[in-house]
Amino acid sequence: MNVLSVIVPIFGLIMVGWFLRRLRLLNDRLVGIVNDYVYYIGISAITFVSLHDTSASLLLDPHIYILNLIPMIIVAVIAYLAARSLKLKHDLLAVFIVCAFYGNTGYIGFPLNVIVQGKNSLNLAAFISTIYTVVVFTFGVYLLRRSSPEPVEAGKLHKLPIIWAALLGILLSWLALPGIVRTPLELISDSTSPLALLATGAMAEGATLRADLKSIGVLSAIKLVLAPAVVALTGLLMGSSGMAYKTSLLEAATPVAVTNSVLASQFKLRQDFASQAVIISTALFAVTLTAILLFI
C-alpha cells in the first residue's frame, strides 16, 4: 500500500478544515452545525445502514468482541497505573483513563477504514465504533460521574442517536430497504466522512497548548502506540487476520476522541486537558499511522 495515499487524504482534509477556520470562512456557528450534522445525522445514518446490512453471524462473532473489548480493558488498567504514577489529581484521573481507551472511531476511524480497505469495511467499522460507544457511555461515564465534583445527569446511553440507529438497524435487518430510503441514507453516509475530517481540523484551530504536556505525552503514547499494539498481540494470539483484524486495529489506533472533551465538560472535569489531548494526539497520529500502515 502507498502510505501517502492514506495519509494525504486524511490529514489533507483536516488541514483544509484548519485553514477554513483560520480564514474565518468557518465560524463557531458553522462548525457547530457541521458537528451536529456529522454526529446526529451522518454517523447515525452510517450506523443504521451498516448494521442493517451486517450479517447476524458477524454481529455474534466472539472474535470481534475479544479483539476490541479485551484490549480496551487492558489499556484502561495501564492508563490507571500510569495516571497514578504521574500523581494526577482526582479530577484528572478519570478523564485520563477515558481518553486512553476511547478514540476517534467515527470522525477519523470511518474514513480511515474506507481509504485503507474499501467501502466494504464501513459496516464492520460502524459495528466496532458502536461497541466503543457503549463502553464509554457505561463504564466511562461511571468513572467520570464518580470523579465529578457535583451531581450531574449527563451521558445517558438511551439519549445517544447512534445507539438507537444501531438497534433499529439490527431490528430491521430482516426487511429489505427500498431504494427511496436507502439512496438518501447512502448519500448522507458519503458526505459524513469528509465533513467529519473538516470539523476535526476546524476545532483544532486556535486551541492553546497550556496543559501538562508530560501527561498528554504519556496519554498519547498509550492511545496511539499501546492500544493498537495490544490489539495486534490479541489478534496474533487468536490467529486473527483479514478485515475483522485490520478494522479492529485501525479503530484502536485512532487518536483521542472529541467526545471525551464534551463528556469532561458535562461532568465539570478537566475539559481543557481532554481538548488538548485531542489536538496533540491527532497531530502525532500522522506518525503512528504511518508506522501501522507499513505493517498492516
Query: Residue 226: which domain range?
Result: 4-295
The number of domains in the chain is: 1
Return the pLDDT at 230. Answer: 96
Residue 64 has pLDDT above 60, yes or no: yes
Return the pLDDT at 203. Answer: 74
**Ramachandran category for residue 24: left, alpha or beta (phi over 0 → left; psi -120 to 50 → alpha):** left
Tell me the average pLDDT of the chain.
85
pLDDT band at 211 (very low <50, low <70, confident <90, very high): low
Q: How many residues does the chain have?
A: 296
Residue 197 has pLDDT above 90, yes or no: no
Contacts of 33 (CB under 8 A, 6+ apart): none
* CA gap 211, 219 in Å, rounded: 12
Return the pLDDT at 100. Answer: 94
Residue 128 has pLDDT above 80, yes or no: yes
Select the more confidently predicted residue: 271 or 121.
121
- pLDDT tens-digit profile of 143-153? 888 887 766 65
Give, in degrees to the nearest 5, the angle at Cα 97 between 236 and 38.
85
CATH number at residue 124: 1.20.1530.20
pLDDT band at 1 (very low <50, low <70, confident <90, very high): low
- In terms of Cβ atoms closer than 10 Å to its own Cβ (0-12, 13-18, 19+), residue 156 is exposed
